[in-house]
């Protein structure tokens, strides 16, 4: 999972880099180079990025048998189906959520690939995009290899109902440690049963195949079958109606967050913290200290002027007067 998610992030960065080059080429600094609505046709402009992105997208969607994402997702389907057979009621909810999540993942992956790489360029930015340099494409190729091959190390030894045909190297590598831990937890009555190999069943495999391929096909049929025109309206907007606006606005989560957290935080900051704490307590304390220090300085100045400077000046004057008086007593004769 880590390999193809990293691949998709880096490949997305490569796409944005190519679009930004197109923006610089045509001196367009207003069109968003990250908006897929202005892309299209990048398959021919950025072939390495396209193929590696396609591999990462198919792995994310769980494309069957040849991607690492399929094997991890298939294990979750198998576990949920096994728990359902064991009578776990919650397994129904888990299985339904897995189906919905897997279908939507495959759908939006096909949507993203179609809008970004297929069809014709829908903006001058896409028309003038170019492939990224080798410092960006070589890591994409390496991650794409692992996004496919790393899953083969974890194929169940009972896959397709066979024994001995496949070897689960990953299970052999970490299995002993996990099994020992699970046995200890089972003996301590912390888990219901020790670790065990899931029995083979065609049902979760077929379900996984149908969901992944179905989501990819529906996404391609809507967004990739025909070239999307410039300024197109999303094909699913009309069928979904209000639900589309709800989803387009991210479930109005930003508005809810703004209402529950942002506005109260601003109110507390402006009304409570700023007015009462900052201006009232902190500024009031500082101003009080300043007034006290100013008053002390003022009275110290008056004390210095009246007592110290005045006293010294008085003593000086009296000394001069005494000197003048005593000098008159001296006639100058010896």
Whether 83 and 30 map to the same domain: the answer is yes
Whether 147 and 266 map to the same domain: the answer is no
Whether 215 and 314 map to the same domain: the answer is no
pLDDT tops 80 at residue 155: no
Whether 220 and 314 map to the same domain: the answer is no
Whether 124 and 266 map to the same domain: the answer is no
pLDDT tops 60 at residue 165: no
Whether 150 and 274 map to the same domain: the answer is no
CB-CB contact of 204 with 78 (8 Å)? yes
pLDDT band, very low/low/confident/very high, at 53 (cuts 50, 70, 90): very high
Region 49-73: mean pLDDT is 85
CB-CB contact of 158 with 78 (8 Å)? no
Whether 111 and 259 map to the same domain: the answer is no
pTM: 0.69
Where does 118-168 have alpha helices with state H?
124-127, 134-149
Task: Please state which of the ranges 64-78, 159-173, 194-208 shows the lowest mean pLDDT.
Answer: 159-173
CB-CB contact of 106 with 214 (8 Å)? yes
pLDDT tops 90 at residue 142: yes
pLDDT tops 60 at residue 334: no
Whether 8 and 121 map to the same domain: the answer is yes
CA distances from 223 to 89, 210, 228 (A): 38, 20, 7
Give a yes or no: residue 189 inside a domain. no
Q: What is the pLDDT of residues 82-139, one digit of tens each?
A: 777 777 788 888 888 888 988 999 999 999 999 999 989 999 999 999 999 999 999 9
Region 210-222: mean pLDDT is 92
Whether 91 and 238 map to the same domain: the answer is yes
Largest pairwise CA distance in the chain: 143
Domain of 263, in residue numbers: 253-334
Specify the higher pLDDT residue, 198 or 106: 106
Whether 129 and 273 map to the same domain: the answer is no
List Cβ neighbours of 140 (8 Å cut-off, separation of 6 or more). Answer: 7, 10, 11, 14, 48, 49, 52, 53
How many domains does the chain divide into? 2
CB-CB contact of 79 with 188 (8 Å)? no
What local confidence, expressed as pLDDT, does residue 12 receive? 94
């Amino acid at each position: 999972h880590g390999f193809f998610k990293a691949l998709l992030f880096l490949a997305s960065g490569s796409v944005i880099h190519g679009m930004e080059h197109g923006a610089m080429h045509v001196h367009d600094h207003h069109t968003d180079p990250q908006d897929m609505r202005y892309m299209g046709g990048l398959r021919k402009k950025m072939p390495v990025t396209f193929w590696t992105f396609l591999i990462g997208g198919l792995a994310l969607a769980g494309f069957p048998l040849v991607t690492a994402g399929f094997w991890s997702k298939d294990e979750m389907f198998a576990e949920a189906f096994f728990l359902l057979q064991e009578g776990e009621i919650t397994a129904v909810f888990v299985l339904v959520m897995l189906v919905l999540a897997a279908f939507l993942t495959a759908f939006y992956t096909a949507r993203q690939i179609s809008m970004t790489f297929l069809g014709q360029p829908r903006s001058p930015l896409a028309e003038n995009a170019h492939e990224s340099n080798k410092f960006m494409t070589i890591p994409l190729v390496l991650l794409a290899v692992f996004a496919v091959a790393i899953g083969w190390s974890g194929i169940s030894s009972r896959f397709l109902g066979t024994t001995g045909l496949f070897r689960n190297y990953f299970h052999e590598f970490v299995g002993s440690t996990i099994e020992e831990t699970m046995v200890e937890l089972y003996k301590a009555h912390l888990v219901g049963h020790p670790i065990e190999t899931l029995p083979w069943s065609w049902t979760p495999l077929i379900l996984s195949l149908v969901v992944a391929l179905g989501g990819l096909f529906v996404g391609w049929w809507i967004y990739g079958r025909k070239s999307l025109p410039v300024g197109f309206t999303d094909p699913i907007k009309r069928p979904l109606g209000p639900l589309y606006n709800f989803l387009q606005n991210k479930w109005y989560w930003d508005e809810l967050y703004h209402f529950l957290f942002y506005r109260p935080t601003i109110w507390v900051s402006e009304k409570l913290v700023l007015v009462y704490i900052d201006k009232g307590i902190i500024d009031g304390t500082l101003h009080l200290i300043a007034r006290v220090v100013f008053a002390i300085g003022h009275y110290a100045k008056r004390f210095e002027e009246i007592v110290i400077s005045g006293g010294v000046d008085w003593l000086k004057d009296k000394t001069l007067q005494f000197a003048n008086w005593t000098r008159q007593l001296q006639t100058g004769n010896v």
